[in-house]
Structure 1
Amino acid sequence: MKKLKFFGIGCLACIFVGLMTIAMFSKPRPDGSKAEQYKEPEDDLYKSPIQMVISKKGRRLYVVCENNNVLQVVDTKRKKVIAEIPVGRRPYGVAFSPDEHYLYVSNRWDDTITMIDTKTLKTVRTIPCGPDPHGLVMDKQGEVLYVACLYDNYVSLISMRTFKEIKRLSTGNQPFEVALSPDGRYVYVSNQLTNPVPFRTAPITEVTIIDTRKKIVVDRRMLFSTDIAQGLSCTPDGKFVFVALESPKNLIPETQIYQGWMVTYGLAILEAKPRGRTALLLLDQMDYYYADPFQIVFTPDGRYAYVSSSAVDAVSVLDVEKIKEVLEVKEGEITASDEKLRRYARHLALSDQYVVKRIRTGYNPKGMVVSPNGRFVYVANRLSDSITIIDTRRQEAVGTIDLGGPKKITLLRRGEYLFNHSTISFQKQLSCNTCHPELHVDGLIYDIAVDGGMGGNLVDNRTMRGVAYTAPFKWTGKNPNLARQEGPRAAQLFFRSHGFEGKDRDAVVAFIESIPLPPNRCIPSSGKLTPSQQRGKAIFERAYTNDGRYIPIANRCITCHPPPYYTDRKMHDVGTKAYFDTEGDFDTPQLNNIHESYPYLHDGRCWSLEEIWTLYGTEDLHGVVNDLTKQQLNDLMEYLKTL
């Protein structure tokens, strides 16, 4: 009778949990933010310019404004916005057709390209494309548009005759920006995050090189010990490609930040030909860092390069001839020895030899363009809603174009600025955005000394998206709320002397709590789960194994990961403690958009969801899965991707 009674209670619990799940899943998926709690009318009106192009005659700038989803047209002579064209949600990249008759704008949250007639300034077509489109560029013939699709790690080739995808080319991890060689022969693709690497191994980002004639990948240039590779550009002579990136030291104890040696920022300089050599030079100085480099542009004669550093509100001016001297370039080839190149990649004093000026800009400088005559550089200041004009002869800012955003600085806008600025970190070394690019993850693990690090208690970085309702924070659950996370803990861990305090802390917390989850592309457009996802859902919620054994409530997936955020916000020991961990209990992570947040587990040892159970869940402590067939495990993965 006792056994029967226990069985009945288990069934009732199972039914209750199942009904709760059905009810929650039938409601609109929450975005995980508290934005409505903090928003003011101005927050929807900020422009947030991020990328732009300039016409061949230099008379017009076309500026992508990601916050209010428009493309602005700016008259460079009058220094005035003359038109605004609505585009899709969260626009990012912009490119011309070769004849400048059309503009193409990538819309990240709509997975589309907006095609605009430059004469009428009207949208003439919306082109479907791959998920999360970022940078894009048209080939010289105007036949194929190359689009970096960050979400699925490929470049989509779209025919301009049919406006349909004709091919996909695999890239590295999170393709971000694209550049066409001056002769049109190659497309170069920067990839934001490190490729999967063995556990406790330095990160490796990739530059993917595509042959536009054969439409194939002809080289994958590996950039060792680098991450967050975003902007890239070809020198006007086509011999080199410059890539803006960071060089993290995440595998050494985090105490090194006190000596200014946790992360550095610089440029990868690639011989443009396939299988050419690569060098890394730093932008930083001994006592000041130029955090979060974003974009690179060259003057038409190739003499100077300009690099925007988003976290310090500055543009660095580089003498390209001096760089060639340092690298001993001869006939378009880097001839400096391997030993020298290894030393240069860590040489903080070397930048004095080739950086000729640091120019102040508005807040959070991002995309840049150079006027066709080479006289001016235009810099998009994302959090100032303005464009800084730099005179290339005087190498100084000579004007500003107001893009018309609100002048009031709201709580959320202030928090966004602080999140993206290195103002309180030691020697301006890093911002929150440094480790959370695009409010997400950098794909790295860290040795946090204050948490028992020095080789132990390694931790995986976690996303900022949709975390408002998922306290406590940190894998150890030590921070009960974001105020502590961004205040005392941030001071102790990252900023050396103090964290965000008072109103600044309130603003940062409000901003983080307002960050929504992006669209989940794994949810079918119909809203109905696929057969595989439905089977996976049943496994996620099941109470019995394949052979009829009862699964205790505490060991079911849905118990620790209940909707809508799929975390019970408690600590659990699921058998993942490693030899270097001092404790085995870890905070239960939220599962929303989990497929975008690799690597997995508290120490980032898994690069796929499947590895969590096939390699590190063999004792059925992290849910009961050992009875599952390969197909059932695949079904479970497919369902998890929809959360």
Structure 2
Amino acid sequence: MKLLFAGKVFALVSIVLSQSLWAGQAPGSSLDPDIPISHHDRVYAAEEFSNTVSIIDPADNRLIGVIRLGDPAPANFSPLYRGQVLVHGMGFSPDHHTLAVVSIGSNSVSFIDTQTNAVKHITYVGRSPHEAFFTPDGREVWITVRGENYVSVLDGSTFEEKTRISVPNGPGMQIFSPDGKYGYVCSSFNPETDIFSVTDHKLVGKLTQASPFCPNIAATPDGKQVWFTLKDTGKTQVFAATPPFALIKTLDTGPITNHVNFVRNSKGMFAYITVGGLNQVKVFRTDNFKQVATIPVGDLPHGIWPSGDGSMIYVGLENADAMLAIDTSTNKVVATIPIGQAPQAVAYVPNAVPQGDGTQNTEPLGVAGQVTHLSLISTRGSEAQPVAPTTVALFDQGLVQVLEASVTDLQPKHAYVLSLAEHPDGSGNLEALATFTTNPAGAAIVNAIGQIRQVVAPDKVNAGGERRYLVVLPKMGAQTGAPEQIQAP
């Protein structure tokens, strides 16, 4: 009997220890319990060109609808326009019932009730805010104001600004240690990450970034590491989450490295990183930093977030208007869900809808789901790049389209022109759409607006029969060189 009792105790202890070891997904603590996927959970995407937030039920990977925060162009050019512009960043409250959505063009944070999908408050902050996150105790919301030199700190209940934390110009994003002790703020304009004490907003540490442009930062659930991405140089860096905040590792992850997040399971803890220029998600162990998987995902992966139990991770495809569900046990894509235009930040919120179906105040995709996809290929031959190095999305705004090109495989730090050419090989008369300079990784995100689809998409050529072709050429003063990328047939 004693042996039987001891065996039962040992089995119970083993179960508790194993649950504790595997539990806790970002941004929470490893001590938190896992939350199995259910119809109460929601996956959200902030969509920059349709000015919408898409809502997905992860239990069946179904789009519920969108929350429309603003209108597409050119309606939002009006001086009387009151909606939001360039919906981009996203965070949520510790009780999982409030979504904080940043619009960089209208300098706002919209606070949305996850049960009703209703906007309950809008706070306007400084120029070009980027991301908003609640502190783990829910008392404050920190917003990186990337167009200025501070973090705007809001009261977590009233959503009114209470103070500002001075940082180097261009703070990119902030995240908190799972215990709520530290706030980590990386920069998009300066090669410096600052660490603050959350209780008194005092600077307690600094770290030199390998390059200036950090778009995303995340802390591991065990509270030991902080990872941040560098979009300009295609690197990801890891530093210790506690003093002296020493740099641990620098990884070469690829051009247009976007977001990073974590999954804990029975095999360990893993960092998932979206790499836009390669159209991949790369997976690394956090103990020895070995890359263990490369997942092909589609055009320009951006935001990424794990489910409450880590069994799935969700990825927004910026140039494909889609959300992918990846099974983390196999690292395979298991679902593709159509969503709005140019998804940026992604958030998975367990128990976001405690009751009912949570469909109130939503709309169908409508024009937000209309997009034309093209690609450009190198004139150097297919051997230079096994896949098309540049993907192009033409997001329909009604009368016009917003063009977004994810350009790679060019000379680093060189000036180029994206143009319309008269002939498929890039020759003949040229009409410039946008000039740009590549980053140190030879990549760039290029935007233009106009009636572009009508002349470049084979099935959309206008009634006059005019046809033009997208081309990328090097810029040499007032002149251009020979085409380096041309529109794929």
TM-score where L is the length of structure 1: 0.49
1:147 aligned to which of 120, 143, 146 = 143
Cα distance, 1:152 vs. partner?
Answer: 0.5
Q: State how far apart, in whole Å, the 1-side matches of 2:410 and 2:148 are.
A: 34
Residue of structure 1 in register with 2:316 after alignment: 380
Q: Deviations over 1:385-433 (max 9, x none)?
A: 11122111112222211225225438972598873132x548xx89999
Cα distance, 1:161 vs. partner?
Answer: 3.8
Q: Is the 8 A contact 2:256 2:444 kept in 1?
A: no
Residue of structure 2 in register with 1:102 after alignment: 98
Q: State how far apart, in whole Å, the 1-side matches of 2:303 and 2:292 are.
A: 21
Residue of structure 1 in register with 2:455 after alignment: none
Residue 326 of structure 2 corresponds to residue 362 of structure 1: no
Q: Which residue identity lines up with residue 192 of structure 2 in the other structure?
A: E
Residue of structure 2 in register with 1:124 after alignment: 120
Q: Which residue identity lines up with residue 239 of structure 2 in the other structure?
A: L
Cα distance, 1:376 vs. partner?
Answer: 0.9
**What SS does structure 1 have at the residue aligned with 2:175?**
strand
Q: Which residue identity lines up with residue 135 of structure 2 in the other structure?
A: D
Residue 346 of structure 2 corresponds to residue 409 of structure 1: no
Change in Cα spacing, 1:421 to 1:322, as seen in structure 2 (3 Å) is same
Name structure 2 gaps, 5 residues minimum: 1-25, 29-33, 70-83, 340-364, 376-391, 396-401, 417-433, 451-468
RMSD of the TM alignment (CA)?
4.0
Q: Deviations over 1:575-610 (max 9, x none)?
A: xxxxxxxxxxxxxxxxxxxxxxxxxxxxxxxxxxxx
**What SS does structure 2 have at the residue aligned with 1:321?**
coil
Query: Looking at both structures, which has the greater relative contact order when contacts are Cα pairs under 8 Å and sequence separation is at least 6?
Result: 2
Cα distance, 1:129 vs. partner?
Answer: 1.6
2:282 aligned to which of 300, 311, 316 = 316
Q: Is the 8 A contact 2:192 2:212 kept in 1?
A: no
Q: Deviations over 1:219-277 (max 9, x none)?
A: 22112x423222111111111101111575xxxxxxxxxxxxxxxx2221111124321
2:203 aligned to which of 204, 207, 217 = 217
Trace 1:416-427 onto structure 2 (pairs within 5 A): 419-422=405-408, 424-425=409-410
Residue 234 of structure 2 corresponds to residue 268 of structure 1: no
Cα distance, 1:379 vs. partner?
Answer: 0.5
Cα distance, 1:362 vs. partner?
Answer: 1.9
Residue 13 of structure 2 corresponds to residue 77 of structure 1: no
Trace 1:49-60 onto structure 2 (pairs within 5 A): 58=37, 59-60=41-42
Q: Is the 8 A contact 2:239 2:245 kept in 1?
A: yes
Change in Cα spacing, 1:56 to 1:104, as seen in structure 2 (3 Å) is farther
Q: Is the 8 A contact 2:131 2:174 kept in 1?
A: yes
Q: Is the 8 A contact 1:228 1:246 kept in 2?
A: yes
Residue of structure 1 in register with 2:164 after alignment: 168
Q: Is the 8 A contact 1:134 1:150 kept in 2?
A: yes
Q: Is the 8 A contact 1:177 1:230 kept in 2?
A: yes
Change in Cα spacing, 1:148 to 1:398, as seen in structure 2 (3 Å) is same
**What SS does structure 2 have at the residue aligned with 1:169?**
strand
**Rg comparison, structure with higher value:** 1
Q: State how far apart, in whole Å, the 2-side matches of 1:119 and 1:380 are.
A: 22
Q: How many residues align?
A: 353
Q: State how far apart, in whole Å, the 2-side matches of 1:462 and 1:399 are.
A: 28
Q: Is the 8 A contact 2:87 2:102 kept in 1?
A: yes
Cα distance, 1:499 vs. partner?
Answer: 0.9
2:222 aligned to which of 221, 224, 237 = 237
Q: State how far apart, in whole Å, the 2-side matches of 1:147 and 1:366 are.
A: 20
Q: State how far apart, in whole Å, the 2-side matches of 1:312 and 1:158 are.
A: 37
Change in Cα spacing, 1:300 to 1:430, as seen in structure 2 (3 Å) is farther
Q: State how far apart, in whole Å, the 2-side matches of 1:245 and 1:150 are.
A: 15
Cα distance, 1:383 vs. partner?
Answer: 0.9
Q: Is the 8 A contact 2:320 2:373 kept in 1?
A: no
Residue 173 of structure 2 corresponds to residue 185 of structure 1: no
Cα distance, 1:163 vs. partner?
Answer: 2.6
TM-score where L is the length of structure 2: 0.64
74-83 or 395-404, which moves further after superposition?
A: 395-404
1:135 aligned to which of 131, 143, 147 = 131
Q: State how far apart, in whole Å, the 2-side matches of 1:418 and 1:464 are.
A: 6
**What SS does structure 2 have at the residue aligned with 1:322?**
coil
Q: State how far apart, in whole Å, the 1-side matches of 2:104 and 2:98 are.
A: 19
Residue of structure 2 in register with 1:347 after alignment: none
Cα distance, 1:300 vs. partner?
Answer: 2.9
Q: Deviations over 1:272-307 (max 9, x none)?
A: 1243211442235xxxxx211111111135611110
Name structure 1 gaps, 5 residues minimum: 1-51, 195-204, 249-264, 285-289, 324-353, 434-438, 449-460, 469-482, 506-643
Q: Which residue identity lines up with residue 297 of structure 2 in the other structure?
A: T
**What SS does structure 2 have at the residue aligned with 1:486?**
strand
Q: State how far apart, in whole Å, the 1-side matches of 2:206 and 2:436 are.
A: 23
Q: State how far apart, in whole Å, the 2-side matches of 1:432 and 1:361 are.
A: 29
Q: Is the 8 A contact 2:404 2:447 kept in 1?
A: no
Cα distance, 1:115 vs. partner?
Answer: 1.1
Q: State how far apart, in whole Å, the 1-side matches of 2:136 and 2:63 are.
A: 29
**What SS does structure 1 have at the residue aligned with 2:330?**
coil
Which consecutive aligned stretches of 4+ in structure 1 deviate over 6 angstroms post-superposition? Answer: 52-55, 415-418, 429-433, 439-446, 461-468
1:296 aligned to which of 244, 260, 280 = 260
Trace 1:309-348 onto structure 2 (pairs within 5 A): 309-323=275-289
Q: State how far apart, in whole Å, the 1-side matches of 2:438 and 2:151 are.
A: 21
Q: Which residue identity lines up with residue 139 of structure 1 in the other structure?
A: T
Q: State how far apart, in whole Å, the 2-side matches of 1:208 and 1:279 are.
A: 16
Q: Which residue identity lines up with residue 306 of structure 2 in the other structure?
A: V
Q: Is the 8 A contact 1:244 1:266 kept in 2?
A: yes
* Percent of residue pairs identical: 22
Residue of structure 2 in register with 1:64 after alignment: 46
Change in Cα spacing, 1:67 to 1:159, as seen in structure 2 (3 Å) is same
**What SS does structure 1 have at the residue aligned with 2:329?**
coil
Q: Deviations over 1:352-377 (max 9, x none)?
A: xx111111112110000111111111
Residue 329 of structure 2 corresponds to residue 393 of structure 1: yes
Trace 1:513-592 onto structure 2 (pairs within 5 A): none
Q: Is the 8 A contact 2:232 2:440 kept in 1?
A: no
Change in Cα spacing, 1:81 to 1:462, as seen in structure 2 (3 Å) is closer
Cα distance, 1:177 vs. partner?
Answer: 1.6
Change in Cα spacing, 1:160 to 1:442, as seen in structure 2 (3 Å) is farther
